[in-house]
Amino acid sequence: MVASMEAARNAIGVVGNIIALFLFLSPVPTFIQICKKGAVEQYSAAPYLATLTNCMIWVLYGIPWVHPNSTLVWTINGTGTLIELVFITLFLIYSEKKKRLRLVVVVVLEIIFMVALTVPVLTVLKTTERRSMVVGTICILFNIMMYASPLSVMKIVMRTKSVEYMPFCLSLASFANGVAWTIYALLPFDPFICIPNGLGTLSGLAQLILYATYYKSTKRQIEARQAAQKEAELVGNGHPKNHNISV
C-alpha cells in the first residue's frame, strides 16, 4: 500500500513537473512580442520577480538537508529559477531606465534575502524537521505571493474589460499547476505544498473566468484600434478620409 502510494505520488510529481515547466515557459509568446516591439509596454515584471523568489525558496526546501526525498521539488524549481532569470534579463533590456533600475534593486534584494535565509537554516537549525518547518512556512507565504501577483493585472482587466495583457497560456498553466501539486501534496499530506497550491488553483480559476468574461470585448477593442491605426495611416499618406467629391 505504501509502495503504491509512493509510486502514485512520484507519477503525479512527474506530471506536476511537466505542467510546471509549461507554466514557467508559458510567457515565451509574450516575450517574443516584447522583443519584436522593443518595449515591455504595459506588461508587469511583478509575476516574474515573485516567481523567481518562490522558485529559489522551493529549491532550498527540496534539497536533502532540508526536506529529504523531494528531488522532484528542487529540480523543477531550479529549472524555474534559470528560466525566470532569462525573462527578467529581457525585461531589463527592453524597459525604460527607471523601470530597469527598480528591477535591479529588487533582484539584488531577493538574492540577499535568500543568502540571509539559507545560511542560518543550514547552520543554526540542526534537524531536517525544523528546517522543513521554517522553510516550508516561508514557502507558503511566497507561493501565495506568486499566485497573488497577477491580481494587479486582474484589476487592470476588470477596469479596461480587456485581457490583452493577461496571457491565457499563463493563466491556464497556473491553474493546472496548482491542481497537480495539490494532489501531489495529499500523497501523503504535506501542508507546505498543499496550502499554497490549493490557493493557486483558486487564483488560476479566477483568471480563467476573467478571460472567458472579457475575451469578446478584448477582440472588439483590438479590432477597433487596428481600424483606427489604418485610418490614421491613410490620412497621413495623403489619402482623404472621405472619398466623396462635391461639385
How large is the average pLDDT for residues 212-235? 76
Q: Name, of 82-96, 153-167, 171-185, the range with top average pLDDT.
A: 82-96
What cell numbers appear for 117 in the block? 535565509
Task: List the single range of 61-75, 118-132, 136-150 with lowest mean pLDDT.
Answer: 136-150
pLDDT tens for residues 39-53? Answer: 887 788 887 888 898
Distance CA 232, CA 1 (A): 70
Whether the pLDDT of residue 245 is over 50: the answer is no
At 238 the pLDDT is 61
Q: How far apart are the first and last CA of the chain?
A: 92
Distance CA 91, CA 82 (A): 15
Q: Where does the pLDDT of residue 173 fall: very low under 50, low under 70, confident under 90, or very high at 90 and above?
A: confident
Q: How far is CA 115 from CA 44, 67, 133, 158, in A?
A: 26, 18, 18, 38
Q: Where does the pLDDT of residue 149 fall: very low under 50, low under 70, confident under 90, or very high at 90 and above?
A: low
Distance CA 35, CA 89 (A): 12
Task: List the single range of 121-125, 167-171, 172-176, 188-192 with lowest mean pLDDT.
Answer: 167-171
- Could you list the beta-strand ranges (E) of 3-110: none
Task: List the single range of 36-50, 154-168, 204-218 with lowest mean pLDDT.
Answer: 154-168
Q: Where does the pLDDT of residue 244 fall: very low under 50, low under 70, confident under 90, or very high at 90 and above?
A: very low
> Considering the chain, what percentage of its residues have pLDDT values greater than 70?
91
**Helices first, then strands: H and E counts in the chain:** 9, 0
How large is the average pLDDT for residues 81-93? 92
> Considering the chain, what percentage of its residues have pLDDT values greater than 90?
24
How large is the average pLDDT for residues 160-174? 77
Distance CA 173, CA 17 (A): 12
At 96 the pLDDT is 82
Distance CA 74, CA 92 (A): 27
How large is the average pLDDT for residues 218-234? 75
